[in-house]
Structure 1
Amino acid sequence: MTITQLSYVLAVAEYKNFTLAAEKCFVTQPTLSMQIQKLEDELDVLIFDRSKKPIMLTEVGEKIVNQAKNTVNEAGRIKDIVDQQKGYIGGEFKVGIIPTVMPTLLPMFLNNFIKKYPKVSLIIEEQTTEEIIKKLKNGHLDCAIAATPLEEDNLKEIVLYYEPFVAYVPEKHASFDKKEITTEDLDLDSILLLQDGHCFRNGILNLCKNNKYIVDSHFQLESGSFETLIKLADEGLGTTLLPYLHTLDLNEKNKAKLRPFKDPKPAREVSLIYPKNELKIHIINALRDVISGVVRGAIAFSDIEIISPKFKK
């Protein structure tokens, strides 16, 4: 039994297809199939039911896959131990970032990180929270940056910063003349939201539910970007909420339409997320330190109320 054979088994279990699994492992399909067959012969069991489409794990195969995940991860930890002992911070590192954080946070820290850790090859993907959770658990991401708490088994969260919600209020809106607002000032019949699948949308829904509003039927205008929401608001179609960092790059005319919430300000918690058995914890710590250093100067709020990114029905 070899680590390579177990890795091939994990690939087939995930993709449920020998050809696709071979592509992902960068080997030919006959090579992958032969190694899995050798493992099955050695163990004298069938790991996969090849008669099913897509290919399915047998009962004993499911148990083998669960143990194989631990074995492959622990084997990878040996190189991680050596790297940490040598003080080496480098190699390929895959990071997922949610769409509402990527455009504001990434430009703030990426250049600093690259200069400080030139041997790390960052591979950054923009993913929804749901996709991030799946990829972290399947080993396709080393860590991610997303709104928390997510309360997911086998995932750890390190808080990076707290980012308040800020209202964007058009000039003709009743709350435009107020210096600070509350959720009661929001026009719930015409508030503009990101499309379903964005955790920032869930945060707004939860914020309003926390204030005892029944809002499910009110949110009708949706878009895939904050820029579009701002333009819709300027056209008199409603108000919207923005994450604080996104407001920093607005022009002065649009900044004049921003209204902060009264304390405690509703805010989202943004964290580094990674598997509990993550091998590259030294790179995660380096990423945390760089991000915390650049964000600390941009966000300084103390009296806040964390709004969950998980939709509450």
Structure 2
Amino acid sequence: MQNKLMTAELKAFLISIGSVSIDPSLVPFALGSTAGPGAGTSSVFFRSGKRRVRLSINKDSPLSIENVGEDGTFSLFMEGEELVRGTLEPALAHCPEQAFITLCERCIFDCKYCPVPKLQGHVKSNKEVLDIVDDVFRTGNLKAISLTSGVENSVQGEVDRVLKLLPALKKYNVPIGVSVYPTEGCSKQFYEAGVSEVKYNVETMDPGIFKQVCGDLSLAYILKKLEEAVGIFGKNRVFSNFIIGLGESDSAVRDGVETLAKLGVIPILRPINPHPLRAGACFAERPSRERLLKLAKMEKAILVKYGLNSGLAKTMCLRCTGCDLVPFVDL
């Protein structure tokens, strides 16, 4: 096979499947997720050229990864047909080249697509967080620090948790990104403490779906805090996860992306990852390759209209690119 690099179309196809089977001997490359809809799953990062894709490990997946060369080359196969060659990237802390850390793996909110409230995982101490950052730093590959969190007791408690950590993280001299549920004044506090970028997630921009799946939260409040954050951090430094596959229409996605972009916020169109612990709790369907490509191209055109560029991100999901089709990077 000619050694072709991953195209945007192929990445969209891989994301639409979302999983891969892999030989147990390659398990050292795998890592677990503790945040959001993908919590409780293990995954690998496959890179080909400038594109990277993150796939959860599933022995029944139609995709498979095999080692095809002693030089560290791996191939992705679809039911025995080789699709592309590339490399597997190690990720000590959630994704390559970052210490991307979930501080609290619990949540008092009950978003219907998210397994975190059911899993009720670990809450890391400050020492554990700093040890993880140190581990990544010692590899020589630390290019960013990203902090996210569920909500153990209160949203203010999670903001305070981040603020207490920031002074010890500045010594690494890399960009710092923070993704939490926002509180009054938190953007200014984060900025003054040295944070480079923030991500406050709308989850969905369809008000009816938001009320159904995230009824304990307020979409209007999140939008207000996103707008405030842009006034503090500036364009291209404020992001928001926008889940695709909760039953929203393409026109609702377009309107939602335009609303966010008009505020100066870059949406991250995140394919839903249906979780067994949430089976039947709400509509959740992995979007098709065709839909992913269509929406990503639509988003890029809107970002251009408002002078935004997701390729400039320094931290978090847009720096990683593994889970999404990212305008200005993938297409």
Asked if Structure 1 and Structure 2 have the same fold, meaning a TM-score greater than 0.5 normalized by the shorter chain, the answer is: no
CA radius of gyration, larger in: 1
Identify the TM-score tier after normalising by the shorter chain: under 0.3
Higher share of residues assigned helix: 1
TM-score, normalised to structure 2, is: 0.23
Structure with larger RCO (C-alpha < 8 A, sep 6+)? 1
